[in-house]
Amino acid sequence: MFESTENSTDMKSLRFLIVGIVCVAGCGKSSPEQGASLVEARRGFTTKAVPQKGVKTPVAVPPANLFRVVKYDSAVGKLAAYLTPTPKDGKKHPAIIWITGGDCNTIDEGSWKEGPAENDQTASAFRKAGIVMMFPSLRGGNDNPGTKEGFFGEVDDVLAAAEYLGKQPFVDPTRIYLGGHSTGGTLVLLAAECSDRFRAVFSFGPAADVGNYPPEYIPFDTSNKREIELRSPGRWLAAVRNPVFVIEGKTDGNLDALQTMARASTNPKLHFLPVQGANHFSVLTPTTRLLADKILRDTGATSNLEITEQELNRLFAR
C-alpha cells in the first residue's frame, strides 16, 4: 500500500500522481444512467478477471497503541484489516472506514506512518480526534483469499467491513462513515452508489470513468464495455441515497472528473467541492482535520454534516 523513502515522500504517491494525470484527460466519458440502480445492474453479472502476478504478503504488524489486526468475513473468505484498539471507556464511538489510494486492496505501514503535511495519506486526523478507524484490506490484497477485481467485488468487501465494524461493542453503528483517496476515492463512491449503510461518505479525488486507469488498477477484461460501466461511478450518481462529498484540489489531480460529475448530477445528496490552493495530495491533511471535527459534532438522529467550498478554500488561503 505505501512505500516510504528517506525523504518522507513515497513511490506510491508518484504512482497516484500518474493515475491522476491520466484521468484528467478523460475520466468523465461515461454518460450517467439517471435513475438506474447500480445494485440491480451488478446483479447476476460475472466479472472476468485477468491472470495476476504478485507475491502474497501478510499485513505488517501495527503499533499496538494505534491499531490491531482483525479479520472480517467477506464473500471470498476472511480478510485482514487494521482497527483502532478497544477504547475501554464503555462508550459507543463514531467510526470511519478509510480506503487508501494506489493498490487499495493492500494495507501496510502506510496506514500509520505519516508523511509531510502536503502529502500525508494516513488520514490520521480521524484517529487523533478519537474516532475509531478501520483500514480494510480487500480481496486479493496482502495474503487474502480471492482475486483483485478492480472496483467490483471490492465494493462488497467494503460493505462487509462495515458490517463487521458495526458489530463492535465500542462503535456506534448509526455513526459509521466511509472515506477514501484517489483509487480509494473511486471505490468509496461506488460503495455509496450501492448502499446507504454509511452516515456520510468522503471521496477524495475519484475518477468518474475507470477505463483510463493503468492496467494494474483494472485487472479485468477491458474489451467488455459493461465491465467498465459497472465500475465507473460517474454513470450511477442518481443511486446515491446518503450524503456524499466529492473533494479534489484544483491543481494536479482529477478535477476534470469532479467537474464532469458535478455537471451531470441532479442528486441533492451529492456535493462536489473543488478546493482552491490544494492539489490531489495536499488537500488531505487540512480537510480530514476539518471532517474529524465535524464528525464529532454530527450527533443527531440523522447526519447534519455540511461542508462548503468556501470553508475548504479558507483552509488553503495564503
3-state secondary structure 224-267: CHHHHHCCCHHHCHHHCCCCEEEEEEEECCCHHHHHHHHHHCCC
- Residue 22: pLDDT over 70: no
CB atoms within 10 A of CB 35: 7
Identify the structural domains of the chain with CATH numbers, from first to last. 60-315 (3.40.50.1820)
For residues 116 and 190, what is the distance between their CA atoms, to the nearest angstrom? 29
Over the stretch 241-287, which tens digit does the pLDDT of each residue have? 999 999 999 998 999 999 999 999 999 999 999 999 999 999 999 99
For the chain, how far is it from start to end, CA to CA, in angstroms?
32
Over the stretch 298-311, which tens digit does the pLDDT of each residue have? 999 999 999 999 99
Which of 289, 276, 274, 255 lies closest to 318, judged by CA? 276
Mean pLDDT of the 29-36 span: 58
- Residue 214: pLDDT over 50: yes
**pLDDT at position 33:** 60
pLDDT band with cut points at 50, 70 and 90 for residue 34: low
pLDDT band with cut points at 50, 70 and 90 for residue 86: very high
pLDDT band with cut points at 50, 70 and 90 for residue 21: very low
pLDDT, greater one: 15 or 112: 112
> Which residue is associated with the grid cell 462487509?
160
**pLDDT at position 290:** 98
For residue 82, give every residue at least 6 positions away whose Cβ sits within 8 Å of its Cβ, in sequence order, or none.
59, 62, 67, 68, 69, 70, 107, 111, 112, 133, 134, 135
**pLDDT at position 198:** 98
Q: For the whole model, what pTM was predicted?
A: 0.92
H or E stretch covering 72: strand 68-74
User: Which strands make up the sheet holding 68-74, listed edge to edge?
Assistant: 68-74, 77-83, 132-136, 93-99, 171-181, 201-204, 244-251, 270-279
**pLDDT at position 168:** 98
Mean pLDDT of the 204-233 span: 97
Nearest 10 degrees: CA dihedral of 172, 300, 162, 265? -170
Could you tell me where the DSSP H helices lie in the chain?
11-24, 38-42, 124-128, 153-166, 183-194, 225-229, 255-264, 284-297, 309-315
Quick check: helix, strand or coil at residue 80? strand
C-alpha of 167 from chain center: 21
Mean pLDDT of the 175-197 span: 98
